[in-house]
Amino acid sequence: MSTTESRVYVPEHKAQLQKIIKTNRIVVLKLGAEWCQPCVACAPHYAEMSFRHPEVVFLSVDIDKNCGDSTWSELFRCSGVPMFISFLNFQSSEEFMGADLVPIEEWINSAKTITQQTTALNTEGSY
């Protein structure tokens, strides 16, 4: 896995992506392409968001690149870019289309609250 900018990681294959999702409670995956102007334009803002939310894992893949036996686009049935897929508690949560990052930031804040409440409940129940 390599880092593109800031805290945004680029998984190299499907197994690596699956491991990241299974081991992190909040994950946001950006599907984009080099030829996509909105993808390029929102990349610095996505990277900036990764610094504001260090407890979230931010990922980015190019839909035209291979991830093993298929492309990322085929794997996620991507119909347009940029597309963002959020994962909460190891499962796919929501999909966002377009370069507007405000709904993603709102989802992140909500997901952080949910994980904090879950952690608090689990802590209260243990002795």
* Interval 8-28: pLDDT, tens: 999 988 899 999 999 999 999
DSSP 79: -
Where residue 6 falls (left for φ over 0; alpha for ψ -120 to 50; beta otherwise) is left
Three-state SS at 104: helix
Among 81, 76, 84, which Cα is nearest to 58's? 84
Model pLDDT, residue 2: 47
Q: Is 38 exposed, middle or buried (0-12, 13-18, 19+ CB in 10 A)?
A: middle
What percentage of the chain has pLDDT greater than the value 70? Answer: 89
Average pLDDT, stretch 42-56?
A: 96
Model pLDDT, residue 25: 94
Mean pLDDT for all residues in the chain = 88
Asked if residues 39 and 99 have their Cβ atoms less than 8 Å apart, the reply is yes
Q: CATH number, domain at 65?
A: 3.40.30.10
Overall domain count for the chain: 1
pTM: 0.86
